[in-house]
Amino acid sequence: MIGARTLGATLLLALAGCDSAPRPANIDALRERCLALEQRALEDNRAIATLTSLCDTAPKRLSGTDGMFAAERWAAEQLRLAGCDDVRLEPVMVPHWRRGEERAEVTSGGTMPLRITALGGSVATPAGGLEAEVIAVRTFEELQALGDAAKGKIVFFNRPMPRALRRTGSAYGSAVPQRSQGAVEAAKAGGVAALVRSMTTTIDGYPHTGAMRYQDDVARVPAAAIATEDAEALAALLANGPVRVRLVLGCETLPDVEGHNVVGELRGSERPDEIVLIGGHLDAWDLGRGAHDDGAGVVHCIEAIRLLCATGWRPKRTIRVVLFANEENGLRGAKAYAAAHDAEIPQHVAAIETDSGGFTPLGFGCSLSGPQAEAVHRLFAPLQELGAGQFVPGGGAGGADIGVLHERGVPCFGLWVDGHRYFDYHHTAVDDVPAVNERELALGAAVVAYAAATLADR
């Protein structure tokens, strides 16, 4: 933990005086405010309309694209309409990767198309594509043990997300290294391409894209995700003998362009220089329209400001909304924010990220532990009446974009939602508004509004 003159210290010192349960009158007032936010969110039903507006205005908003610029303009206007006192676009250089043509097919024993999509950042196949025998593995260790057997092959990483894990985020974390690092490991083994099972427990026909990376001292081979239905079919074919696949990817990486973090503030009534940050990421993968990932988080933050203004709650500290650029394939927005605001990070009292979709809110994970975490838990007690009373201390950074603040000692919170369906849609063509329930989305906004304002008032 950092020193007593820095951010976290501001909140932590305030919480140090909360070792005993808050006075009943204080809890009653917090409960009334919490229920007022819930009622207003559900009655107004503005959240789903705002999400629809984002997805209509900027359905494709991967960093560097025209859709990204449209989303920035849209977000700035929405923050003004919500009631922010100050709205600005803060520049950040972001990558510009383009998908292009993508197709694959089994070519041995007849032709069978495979539903695939390039992984973000992949290089293209050679002109006209490539064709090679496929070799299937589940782990990097299994691949390494094959020795020369992988040379000249398409390496098929077919490790499913473990269904037995109740937390789908944990299941994702256990399987996602094959997506992010698969191309590097395939190339190290002499493979000519990487084909990765999509990151979902669902067996369906939608391939899931996502970020991958290369290593400077390792050859760059193309990488694609395959729909789980087709992964199962390909594995069955391989069980009966050798299989060849033809892969065509037309990806290209263009020069970086200037994008922006979109920032808006509801200025504090008593300590405006002290900041509670709430944020999500404005960019989205290009297959669907990014309704859950992270249109929902963007709407949570915008709607949180509107709800606070509509219910007359002006917090003592400033609540700053940051809609980050380039979370999906680089985290440039998070890094640029930390650099641009380096001098005032000690004035950041807390940071909240919402990037888990617009599902039913359950509560928060929190980087704090011990008595400090317990003090916040008591302040969040009224959220139990909204079904969002879960509180998990020692939960790490709370999200990728606020991770840089966590490293500097800022107490960080991540909104927890019912995530069982999240990876049905994550990074796919079906991540669109019909997949979002309007009441669940509205409740998420009310929960974020309550948490932010309560922290801002301590």
Q: Which two tokens stand for residue 298?
A: 């963007």
Helix segments in 207-340, DSSP class H:
228-238, 296-310, 332-340
Look up residue 149 and give its DSSP letter.
G
Residue 292 has a CB neighbour count (10 Å cut-off) of: 32
Q: Could you tell me if 202 and 423 are in contact, meaning their C-beta atoms sit under 8 angstroms apart? A: yes
Q: Distance between CA atoms of 153 and 32, rounded to whole angstroms?
A: 63
438 among known catalytic residues: no
CA dihedral sign, ordered 433, 435, 436, 437: positive
- What's the Cα-to-Cα distance from 276 to each of 351, 352, 356, 411, rounded to whole Å? 6, 8, 20, 10
Active site residue: 72, 327, 328, 353, which one? 327
CA angle (313 as vertex; 308, 319 as ends), nearest 5: 65
CB contact at 8 A, 354 and 278: yes
Going by the DSSP 8-state scheme, the letter that residue 23 receives in this structure is P
In angstroms, the CA 49 to CA 56 distance is 10
Residues catalogued as catalytic: 327
